[in-house]
């Protein structure tokens, strides 16, 4: 006689083995998910840093390349109405505001490029009066790329009147047209005057202690020129500059790259024909579990001078940077050739 069939369940040991296998599989899936999320976050941060670098250079490169552009004229030996920074302040055209960042700082058109090394030297205060003391500055002077669409009777702060034979600094369109009619019986072009100084401040408009690339810009809104701060990009921690110098002033080829110099500091006859730029950009937020202990060597920052983990001290110029914190960073360098050297 057959015994009745009995259904059997899992034993305790079998159940524990199944649960253990299940936990291992769930744990593995969770680890894969966490690793993927962390990798995605890293890639997103790096992509944003690269995007920010592209944006910064889209601003800097276009501006720097056109330094010394004055419209029609080429080979101009002098610009009518320009005033060197070594002369007494000129207020006839520009008003006192054009000297607010330094004597004739806004009207020294004979100096299309200048800068300062490891310090902020402008007479006008930086954003929130908190500049990054060991970063460089770079000043660009030129005419606006497009002719200004202004009426015949327009009165403005500062514009460039450009013909094929001369360039003059004016503050009324009528004056420019009259000059051109007498000189060559044909109208020239009117361009806004562009004066930009790039620098790093320790704060952004969105909050304090966020290093940011700013620029002082000679504002052509209204009838009186004023220098105003324009925010370029938050997260720029350092900005270093070197000038490529043609000491003969005849070849257009850089024979040496030097730290940025102020107006009048170049040897007689020398020209700046290229500008080498370094921009150090950090991530928006701290990244737990990551430490940036790399040593950044760029510009005049060299390990031969030592290393430093803080850029907010004025004594840190020329020292390599080793932050040892939890921000990701991207250092990008680019050399920009100046189009308008040798009057071309």
DSSP codes of every residue in 57-99:
HHHHHHHHHTTT--TT--S-S--BT---TTSPPP-SSS-GGGG
**Cα 180 to chain center, whole Å?**
36
High-pLDDT (> 90) share of the chain, %: 49
What pTM was computed for the model? 0.85
- In the structure, what pLDDT confidence band is assigned to residue 231 with cuts at 50, 70 and 90? very high
Is 27 a residue whose pLDDT tops 60? yes
**136 φ, ψ to 5°?**
-85, 165
- Tell me if 294 is assigned to some domain: yes
pLDDT at 49: 95
- Tell me if 10 is assigned to some domain: no
Q: Write the CA distances from 11 to 16, 22, 115, 338, integer angstroms.
A: 9, 17, 81, 83
Q: Per-residue pLDDT tens for 322-342?
A: 999 999 999 999 999 998 876
Helices (H), the chain: 12-65, 173-184
Counted residue by residue, the chain has a size of: 344
- Closest by CA to 196, choosing from 59, 340, 30, is 59
Nearest-5° Cα angle at 54, 52 to 57:
110
Cβ atoms of 308 and 314 within 8 Å: the answer is: no
- Supply the range of the domain harboring residue 275: 37-343
Q: Per-residue pLDDT tens for 264-299?
A: 888 888 999 999 999 999 999 999 889 999 999 999
Mean pLDDT of all residues belonging to the chain: 85
Is 235 a residue whose pLDDT tops 70? yes
Cβ atoms of 160 and 143 within 8 Å: the answer is: yes
- In the structure, what pLDDT confidence band is assigned to residue 178 with cuts at 50, 70 and 90? very low
Tell me the average pLDDT across 139-168.
76
- Tell me if 18 is assigned to some domain: no
Q: How many domains would you assign to the chain?
A: 1
- Tell me if 21 is assigned to some domain: no
- Closest by CA to 66, choosing from 156, 142, 14, 177, is 142
- Tell me if 118 is assigned to some domain: yes
pLDDT at 242: 97
């Amino acid at each position: 006689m057959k015994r009745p069939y009995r259904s059997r369940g899992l034993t305790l040991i079998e159940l524990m083995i199944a649960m253990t296998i299940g936990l291992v599989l769930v744990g593995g899936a969770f680890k894969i998910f966490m690793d993927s999320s962390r990798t995605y976050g890293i890639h997103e941060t790096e992509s944003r840093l690269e995007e920010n670098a592209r944006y910064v250079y889209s601003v800097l490169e276009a501006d720097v390349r056109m330094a010394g552009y004055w419209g029609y004229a080429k080979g101009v030996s002098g610009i009518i109405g320009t005033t060197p920074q070594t002369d007494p302040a000129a207020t006839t055209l520009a008003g006192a505001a054009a000297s607010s960042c330094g004597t004739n700082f806004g009207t020294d058109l004979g100096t299309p490029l200048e800068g300062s090394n490891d310090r902020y030297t402008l007479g006008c205060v930086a954003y929130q009066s908190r500049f990054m003391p060991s970063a460089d500055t770079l000043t660009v002077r030129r005419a606006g790329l497009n002719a200004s669409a202004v009426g015949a009777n327009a009165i403005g702060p500062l514009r460039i009147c450009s013909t094929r034979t001369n360039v003059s600094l004016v503050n009324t369109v009528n004056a420019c047209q009259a000059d051109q009619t007498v000189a060559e019986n044909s109208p020239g072009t009117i361009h806004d005057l562009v004066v930009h100084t790039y620098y790093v401040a320790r704060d952004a408009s969105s909050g304090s202690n966020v290093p940011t690339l700013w620029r002082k810009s000679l504002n052509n809104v209204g009838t009186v020129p004023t220098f105003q701060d324009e925010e370029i990009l938050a997260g720029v921690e350092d900005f270093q500059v070197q000038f490529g110098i043609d000491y003969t002033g005849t070849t257009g080829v850089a024979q040496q790259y030097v730290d940025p110099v102020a107006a009048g500091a170049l040897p007689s006859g020398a020209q700046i024909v290229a500008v080498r730029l370094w921009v150090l950009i950090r991530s928006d937020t701290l990244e737990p579990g990551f430490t940036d202990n790399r040593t950044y060597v760029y510009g005049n920052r060299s390990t031969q001078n030592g290393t430093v983990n803080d850029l907010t001290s004025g004594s840190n110029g020329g020292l390599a940077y080793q932050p040892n914190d939890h921000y990701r960073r991207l250092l990008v360098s680019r050399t920009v050739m100046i189009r308008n050297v040798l009057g071309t």
